[in-house]
Structures are given as structure tokens and as C-alpha cells.
Structure 1
Amino acid sequence: MSDQLEATAAKPAPATERSAQQAVNPATGEPGHAYPAHSIDDAHAAAEVAHAAFKSWRRTSFAHRSKLMRQAGAVLRQRADEFAALMTEEMGKTLTDGRAEIEKCAAHCEWFADHAATYLAPEPVDVGGPEAFIAFNPLGVVLAVMPWNFPFWQAFRFAAPALMAGNGALLKHASNVPGCALAIERVFHEAGFPRDLFRTLLLPSSDVKALIEDDHVAAVTLTGSVTAGKSVAAAAAGVLKKCVLELGGSDAYVVLEDADVAAAAKICATARMVNGGQSCIAGKRFIVVRDILEAFEAAMVEAMRGYAMGDPGDEHSKLGPMQSVHARDEIHAQVIKSIAAGAQLLLGGEVPDRPGAWYPATVLADVLPGQPAHDDEVFGPVAAIIAAKDEADAIRIANASDYGLGSGVLTGDIDRGRRIATEELEAGMSFVNENVRSDSRMPFGGVKHSGYGRECAAFGIREFTNIKSVHVRALESTA
């Protein structure tokens, strides 16, 4: 994933070297708007005022926070077309997907507006004597380091619960979506949140470590690459601050012999092509038992063929450009290396002769260990089909990965699918006969190199609270 944090932060560059963050339209390669960048001194100042705002905000009622969060959802819906177009311009998302993303953000705001008070209500505990309960108090200012692929959803997924819990927030977004980053700040300001409580900072990744170390920052959350996650985790550990990491994924879908092949291929293609394949929870490895392998390959090619490249501004387009030419070239290199190592190209796999960061829907078969399509996260529209002898072999292959974000099972036997999803697959999320997706009502996150901690639901909102044990006993008189 782009915009990775350097393992060892460099000294901040002089202001003259980073006076602006420049957006580039990935469909054409042409430069878009440039936005003045912030310095590390600006960031420290923002952290200080955010902490001051937090001290007042934490005393507000859930009813007050809920009112403002609902207004944030309303602002999102009112400006959905504008924000969808901004995503299209900056990172190539189709307008249809952009509008859906904004609606998801608005619904997320409403969910936490409605449920934060319940999620964070004191929980009584019977300890057989004095009054005892668990309280959930805000930590302070939470720094979020966010990626470009879902530029609104990733930010709101963190911000809505963090603010409803009583925290302040700083957003350091990916450098290729500066307009989206600033628009998110405006949403909260227009909704009536205290101006200093939520701030967007247009910073280089090299400044993140210094900001984590700021005494006014209480915790950090990152969605991004494994490299970025390790750097943020090390920086946070160095100052003993809580962090939540949602990192990469190489999601495996196990396709069993009792599955309806055409239906399974349609679900798998949908899983692979989430956001043009540029998603941590997009399906990437499709592990198919040999009894149906040939039929599945044909069905998968047919399903993937339906994702034709098209102008992301066209309502009917299903596959826009990749986020950058550099990212597209990395994806193509992974495909070429996989073919050279024995993979069979069934569909796509050629760079179009046109400006911009375009890459077609691609299907690889005969994918084996040692090939990038098998071992690495391919962050684009490339489906890797892997053969398995049987159920046990398919599960073994699925789990033989450094990643553990999402996973899927395709089967005609619901009980079989439930058992495999629940007990066998090493992932933070397992879906049966569906593609993996995030949901405000369910915890979201992974294991292994896919990170730790959870977002969404009660588990997510409690990540950035002090889970405090309280005992209360009346003072007995000794008179």
C-alpha cells in the first residue's frame, strides 16, 4: 500500500521542499489541485489545541455528541456527489463506488450516534461485597494514519467511534488524497464539532514518529502496509502508547466440491474486485478443490470478464484506474514474475496503451508457492487460482500465509461452511458464501501480519478508552 511510513523517520524537510501536497488524476496522469502542506511545528500546535478541546469534549453528554455526529452524517449525504467526484479525481474510484462509500460513512456516523452510550455504559460486576463496575473513559487525542484506497470510509471508521467515546482526533492522510483529507475535516466542522477537536494534517510520513511522541497525543491507529504498521507500532511502543493496526491481507477463499460453481465464481469475482482490487479485504487467493477446478477456472474468467475498464466518471463503469502508474507497474511486475515462475494467464495481464494507471481484470491459474501471486499481497484486479486436493489441503493452503485479515468459504453445506469459518481459518473475519466486508455492527480487524486490535462495534469503540475497574464501599464508622 502506498504512503508507507519509513522505518526510521528522517528529519523534517524544510518548508520549501514540502510546501504543497499535489493530487494527480490516475485516469489521465494529469496533475490536479495542490494544497499547502503543514510543518511538524503546525502538527505539534494542532495536537496541543486538540488536547485542550478534548478536555472539554470529554465532559459533554452522549446526547450532545450524538446530535453532532448525526449532523456529520447529514453533511455527508448532502455533499455525496461532490465527495464522490473528489475521490474519482484523486485516486480513481468510480463515482458509483464513491457514492456508496459516502453513504456507508453516513450510516456509520448514525450507528455510533445511536449506540455509543450503550457500548460505553458502565458494566456492573458482582464481586460479592462492595459495589463494583467497569467504566469506559476516553484516552485523549488519537492520531490516525490513513491510506488512500477508501479515503472517506477509513477515516470515518476510526473517527466516529473515537469522537463519540469523548476523544479528540488528528488525521494524517495519504499524500495523494489531500482534498479528501481536508474535506473530512470540513464535514466535522460544518456539523458543529469544536474546531480544534478534529484536525487534518497534510504531513509527510517522515513526520509521523515525531507526532506520535508528542505528549498531547494519547494513542495512534493506522490502516496501511505491514511496513508502515511495524514503524508505527515501534514508535508507539517507544513511548508506551496504545495503537491499533489494520494492515495488509491476502484473503483466501476456499471453494469446496459441493459449491455451485457459477454462484461461487460470481462471489469470488465480487470479492476480488472490491475497489478495483485495491482493498486489504479483497479476495486474493481462490483455493479450489481439484474436482471442480477446471469448471471454476472457466466460470471465474467469465465473471471477471464482466469488469471492463471504463471512465470512473461514467455511472456504468465497474473498473477504474489503479491509484497511480507506479502502483499499476508494481502489480504488472507481480503478474509477469508469477507467469515466469509457472502461473498460467487466463485473462488480462497486459498494460493498455493509454495514458493513466490502467490495468485490466486478470486471472491466473496454476498459482504455486514462490510466485508473487501466491506469496504476496497483489493490490489490484488480479485473481490467483490455487488447486487443492481436498478440504483439509485447502484449509492448509489458506492458513499458510503471513496474513490473517479476511477469509471465505464457498460450499453447499452451511454446517460445513460454519465449522470451517469458525474453527479452521486463521483470520479476523470469515464469511460463508459471501464476500468479506466491513460493517459498523461487527468487529473488524486481523491476526498475524494483518495487525491487531479491532475497529467497529463495541470492541472498536472501546479500543481507545481506559477500561477502568471501580470498587465503591461505604466508609464504616469506627465510633
Structure 2
Amino acid sequence: MTTTTTTIIDAVAINPTEGAATYGLFIGGSARAGSGASLELTSRLDASSLGTVASAAPTDVEFAFERASSAQPAWAAQTAADRAAIFQQAATLFRQRSAEIAPIIAAEMGKPMSEALSEVQKGAAIFEYFAQMAYRPSGQTFTTDTGEDVFTVAEPLGVVALITPWNFPFTIPVRKIAAALATGNTALYKPATNGALCGLAIAQTLSDAGLPDDVLNVIIAKSSAIQEALFQNPALAAVSLTGSYPTAAAIRRALPVEVPFQAELGGKNALVIWRDADLDFAVQVIWQSSFRNNGQICTSCGRLLVHEDIADQLLERLRHRVDGSANNVEGDEFGILSSTTEASQVLEAIEQSNASEILRPEWGDGRVGPTVLVRPTANAAIEEEIFGPVITFETVSTIDDAIALANRPAYGLTAGIVTNELDVAKQFWHGVHAGTVKINASLTGTPFHVPLRGWGQSGAGAGEGGDVSMEFFTRRKAVYLRRSPV
């Protein structure tokens, strides 16, 4: 095990010059320059330079596959106790380094510091969970009419590719990395470019915790520069993606048919506020579901479907809450949208919504505050993911109407309802097309041990979380045993 005497961000730099550091890839247990284009990293908080990344070229990806393939048999042969010990040490180090890693997250994508700290703490807990799950690969036994004893065993796939977005640059990668490594795979991990430093910090900390070299290699590059090298390599055994539907479609087209593919994608998630809802409680659920992390959560609420009997009252409460949110412009509740491009796209969606009224604080400085689009008529506002702090406000008269409207988009990630009418709640959860349904709870927040799988354009392949992740990263072998004649 190595011991770092510098900060984690210095440890992953090729040239740790203050204010102009150069970063690269993480292969073989250390940082190394890629052969691709130089990518500029800019702080979302103050537009200062975070340094540059010497990104990967196809030859770097090929090299990472070679190293990961060489390391995989020995890693798979390690005992569950060995893997668990590394994961437990990693959890300890992540907690110790949370004050270093959280500012990296905040600078790279604009997340509030409180959210960033919470994300690192949750990531540490994920490693503790999968430390125990390393003991859990299990099989089945069968009897046959022909006298054989038959049993199944779970074996690792080999070298897997893990591709993650920028909105949760710590917990989403950790959830994939921990599950893949706990089952004996080695991995190539490609973070979003505006999550690059966080990705490197994850890899360095795992190395410091005792993870053998090349079990986890980090590749940083624009997807277009390495797509063929990443998805056509014969050593590739599986791909796990969290991202967008177009990205998933492009990857699936590029993959050989035999390579397993799992994807958690976007959503246009509906929250129904029924006629019996306590309105103050409903506003609280709406706020938590819609505006946390500036709405940049796949499971966030994008549409409010409000019973017509309470629509006017609820709208007034939301108006008051939105107006009051202007007082938090310098606070730590919302953060900043991840890039000026994202902010421009969100503002364009607001302007083109054809809403009868727009509730929104005027913050300025390119920040987008919590926004309610009242009765929009533009299909895009109703059906497409905006991925910002924006929700629509639509009215319904029956639960059948609510279910039909909730099912209108092509997505099906999460849905929810606020009501104490059990029959209504039951009708909703049976009728809505979504992989996760919540009753009287925020749509955001998915425990790492609970399966998450989107329907429709919100997911592909297996889901992830707990046992489901362990299943995806293993393959089953059936063994037939019969005593040979003496």
C-alpha cells in the first residue's frame, strides 16, 4: 500500500504546477499522459482554470485493455476477504479525504458543497456495502432424471467498461466500480470530461487502499475520439452506462452482439398531487423531487400532474416558494448548472414551452432558478427531459387521466403520487409505466442496494443496484456431475 503525502489532486497530476496542472490517464496504478488532444478544465464556480488533461487516443485505450486483461485472472483469484479488506480501507480513505474531494466535485460541475460532501460520504458507504457483497456470489442446485447432480456457479465476465456522467461524478462511478470489482472483473472507467479530476481521485484512492495495479484503469477522452477502440476491442466483456438515450443507442450500435450492455438513462418523471394531499407537505415533496442539484438528476420530477380541485391553491403555494428562493441566490441550496451550454439549453426550453405563466426568480449571472411552467402546450416541454430546475404544472380530473399523462413520454424511470387514498395509490402504481414508483416521497434518492431500472427510453438491459449489479457483472456456468464407473 502506498501512502500519499500530498493532496489527492496533486497525486493524480502529471505536472502538479499550481494553477496550470496537467493531468492524464490512470493506468498501471499511476498517472500517465494520454496521446490524444489536450482538454481544458474550467471551474464552474469562478471560471478559473483547473488545468488540462492529456486525453486518451485509441492506442491508449488498447494499452489499458492489455493491462486490465493481464491483471484480471489474478484479481479474480483473490479471496472475497482480500477484496473486502481493500474496499473497507477505501471507504476509510474516502471519508478522510472528503474535504479534499468535495471541492473538486463542486468546481468541476457546480454542485453545492453540502451535496458534494454528502456524495463522497455515500460513496464510502457503497464500498462498505460491496465489501460484504463480495462474499455473496451464489448459485443453484438441481436434480435430474438421469442421475446427475447439477449446480451453477457465478464467474466474473472479464474486462468491463464503465461510462458515467457528470451530475453525480462520485456515487455513480463508485456504484459501478464497486460492483464490477467485487465480482472479480477488472475495469476501464471513462468519466465525463467535467468529472475527470473526480474520476482520477477515485482511482488514486483505491490504489492507496491496496487495489492492485491495472484492476481499475481510467480513460479520459471525448467519446468520439475513442469509440471504436473502446467498444470493438475483443477483450471487452460488458458495458455499463449511465447517460442519455442517444449515447446508449450509439454504444449499442457499436457493440458486438455478444457483449452485455446495461444502461440507466434519462426520464421525464411525473409526480401526481392528488386532491386529498396536504398542500404544505406536497410543496415539500415537489421541492425535493424537482430542484435538488439544480434539477440535474435523472430521477428528478419533470412534470406535476395536479388534481383540478386543488390546483389553484397549490399554484399559489409554489409561487410563494419560488419567489422566496431568490433569497438563496448566494446560498448553498441549488448550485449552478454544469456548463454554460446546459444553462442555454434549459433557458431555451423555458422560452419555447408556450406556458400560460412562468414562475421563476430573476437571479441573473447565468444562473437558472427553480422554474414552474404553468400549463405548457409545447410537446417538448411535456415529453422531453430538460435536465434543469424546471417542472411543468398540468391539471387532471381523474386518476386515469393522471396515469395516461404520466405515460405519455417515451421515458419510464420514476413516478410518484402524493395521497393517502390507498386505492388511488394502488391504481397509480399498477398503471404507470416506470421502473420506480414512490408514494408520498421524493422522486430523487435511490438507495444503492435497491434495483434501479428504467422502462422505455429510460433504460436498457439489466438494472443496477445490489444483487442486480452483482448479477450483471457475472455469468452463470452450469456444471453436471456424475460419478464415473469404477
Instruction: Tell me the residue number matched to 2:140.
Output: 123
CA contact (8 A) 1:21 1:202 kept: no
CA contact (8 A) 1:247 1:450 kept: yes
Instruction: Tell me the residue number matched to 1:392.
Output: 400
Matched, 1:182 2:200: yes
Q: CA deviation at 1:43?
A: 1.3
Structure 2 unaligned spans of 5+: 1-32
Partner Cα distance (2:222, 2:327) in 1: 32
Partner Cα distance (2:451, 2:144) in 1: 29
CA contact (8 A) 2:34 2:60 kept: no
CA contact (8 A) 2:295 2:390 kept: yes
Partner Cα distance (2:259, 2:327) in 1: 44
Tell me the alpha carbon deviations over residues 212-256 of structure 1, each in whole angstroms, 9 at most, x when there is no partner: 1111221111111111010111112x3531110111111111211
Distance of aligned partners of 1:304 and 1:189 in 2 relative to their CA distance in 1, 3 Å threshold: farther
CA contact (8 A) 1:162 1:464 kept: yes
Instruction: Tell me the residue number matched to 1:294.
Output: 312
Partner Cα distance (2:212, 2:203) in 1: 11
Structure 1 unaligned spans of 5+: 1-14
Equivalence map 1:108-257=2 (5 Å): 108-118=126-136, 120-127=137-144, 129-206=147-224, 207-236=226-255, 238-257=256-275
Partner Cα distance (1:71, 1:462) in 2: 25
Give the alignment's TM-score, normalised by structure 1: 0.89
Give the alignment's TM-score, normalised by structure 2: 0.88
Q: CA deviation at 1:64?
A: 0.8
- How many residues are matched? 450
Instruction: Tell me the residue number matched to 1:318.
Output: 333
Partner Cα distance (1:66, 1:283) in 2: 36
Partner Cα distance (2:267, 2:63) in 1: 35
Instruction: Tell me the residue number matched to 2:387.
Output: 379
Tell me the alpha carbon deviations over residues 322-344 of structure 1, each in whole angstroms, 9 at most, x when there is no partner: 00111101000000000xx2442
Q: CA deviation at 1:308?
A: 4.5
Tell me the alpha carbon deviations over residues 32-63 of structure 1, each in whole angstroms, 9 at most, x when there is no partner: 22222222111110111111111111111111
CA contact (8 A) 1:309 1:319 kept: no
CA contact (8 A) 1:209 1:232 kept: no
Tell me the alpha carbon deviations over residues 130-181 of structure 1, each in whole angstroms, 9 at most, x when there is no partner: 3222321100111111111000111011010110000001111111222112
Q: CA deviation at 1:196?
A: 0.5
Matched, 1:430 2:454: no
Partner Cα distance (2:253, 2:55) in 1: 26
Partner Cα distance (2:327, 2:403) in 1: 33
Partner Cα distance (1:137, 1:303) in 2: 52
Residue number among 471, 479, 482 corresponding to 1:473 in the alignment: 482
Equivalence map 1:23-102=2 (5 Å): 23-102=41-120
Q: Which moved more, 1:258-267 or 1:224-233?
A: 258-267
Distance of aligned partners of 1:72 and 1:308 in 2 relative to their CA distance in 1, 3 Å threshold: farther
Q: Which moved more, 1:461-470 or 1:87-96?
A: 461-470
Q: Which has the higher contact order (CA 8 A, sep 6+)?
A: 1
- Percent of aligned pairs with the same amino acid: 29
Residue number among 339, 357, 368 corresponding to 1:344 in the alignment: 357
Distance of aligned partners of 1:87 and 1:130 in 2 relative to their CA distance in 1, 3 Å threshold: same
Partner Cα distance (2:278, 2:485) in 1: 71
Instruction: Tell me the residue number matched to 1:331.
Output: 346
CA contact (8 A) 2:322 2:359 kept: no
Instruction: Tell me the residue number matched to 1:7.
Output: none
Instruction: Tell me the residue number matched to 2:29.
Output: none
Distance of aligned partners of 1:180 and 1:269 in 2 relative to their CA distance in 1, 3 Å threshold: same
Partner Cα distance (1:17, 1:182) in 2: 17
Q: Which moved more, 1:288-297 or 1:161-170?
A: 288-297
Residue 43 of structure 1 aligns to a residue whose secondary structure is helix
Equivalence map 1:401-440=2 (5 Å): 401-414=409-422, 416-421=424-429, 423-436=430-443, 437-440=445-448
Residue 60 of structure 2 aligns to a residue whose secondary structure is helix
Partner Cα distance (2:217, 2:325) in 1: 38
Instruction: Tell me the residue number matched to 2:471.
Output: 462
CA contact (8 A) 2:272 2:416 kept: yes
Residue 434 of structure 1 aligns to a residue whose secondary structure is coil
